[in-house]
Amino acid sequence: MRANKLPTEEIRREPAAFADRITADGRFGRTAEPGRYRLVISRACPWAHRVVMTRRLMGLEGAVSLAVTDPVQEIIEDDPHWVFTERTGSPDGRDPVLGIHALREAYLARDPGYDGGVSVPGMVDVPSGHLVSNDYDQLSVDMATEWGPLAREGAPDLYPVALREEIDTVSARVYQDLNNGVYRSGFAPDQDRYDRAVAAVFARLDALEERLTDRRYLVGEHITLADLRLWATLVRFDAVYHGHFKCNRRKLVEYPALWAYARDLFQTPGFGDTTEFEHIRVHYYRVHTAINPTGVVAVGPDPRGWLTEHGRESLGGSPFGEGSPPGPAPEDERVPPLAEQG
């Protein structure tokens, strides 16, 4: 939907416009090759954040380069577009690898007649400039399972075969009620639909609080894609969803187990070190002019609470299972220290 237009019906997410799959064996037509693809993301977007976390945990930074758009979309022909600016390292307003100003150019390179929406993440084929996929879930699944020898030694199994059914079931419920539910609340066109959406948000949070009271991770004994999918929403909850999207029955910090779980993951490599609260706040409060017409950006909450002790180790399990943590993020991808993000 157009963020600067008043909603007239409940928000609905369209299927991915392009969903080519990239695998080690190329069985779907595209082969995982180092340097071949560039991942375009916004650090504000929870759907893109899932893929960034997967890429980091799997150690694919050297295989797939990263392009970060400005958190404030540019209005082009009355539509908001993800663009490159000096704020994100593109002084001339063009991505230094792809040579484009707006991600939409990669969509049009793939299909000159494309007239649909443009979303992040976008995986782009560098030689042709064509968009390969904007399917955030499939991109995450394939990066976790299909990139073979390009993944780092010690990469965790984020989508274990024995747990896939449970991961998918849990993730589907979280998506319906929470990941997408916060948007259905924030962009609700009337009171009745807001009431239904926000009730589902907190019913799901209540259920997750109970589930995570005596288990460290959502499914199994280590981090899986289910945790990435949930956490991308939790890390944004108090900063933007609570106030901006009117999901204000309770804050995340008022859920003892969920807040401790969220802090546990924030302090795990791949999570907090891919999070930039300034981009999150600026995007939501500046872009969604239909629900925040002044564009005033809220100042809080103070992000330093994410570094407080969580005590979740006592529940057992380990973040990476039989694997190991990733090393430091590449220097050109590091987010500002947390003290500078508040």
The pair of structure tokens assigned to 119 is: 């979303």
Instruction: Give CA angle at 153 (152, 156), nearest 5°.
Output: 80
Catalytic site includes residue 136: no
The pair of structure tokens assigned to 130 is: 């064509």
Adjacent-strand bridge partners of 68: 41
Catalytic residue, from 183, 217, 261, 285: name it.
183
Backbone angles phi, psi at 144, to 5 degrees: -80, -20
Adjacent-strand bridge partners of 133: 19, 123
User: DSSP readout, 219-285?
Assistant: SSSS--HHHHHHHHHHHHIIIIITTTT---SS-GGG-HHHHHHHHHHHTSTTTGGG--HHHHHHHHH
Q: Which residues contact 139 (CB under 8 A, 6 or more apart)?
A: 51, 54, 121, 123, 133
Catalytic site includes residue 261: no
Instruction: Give CA angle at 55 (274, 3), nearest 5°.
Output: 60
Please tell me what DSSP assigns to residue 45: -
Backbone angles phi, psi at 325, to 5 degrees: -70, 155
Backbone angles phi, psi at 260, to 5 degrees: -65, -40
As a whole number of angstroms, the distance between CA 148 and CA 167 comes to 21
Catalytic residue, from 37, 45, 136, 194: name it.
45
Catalytic residues: 45, 183
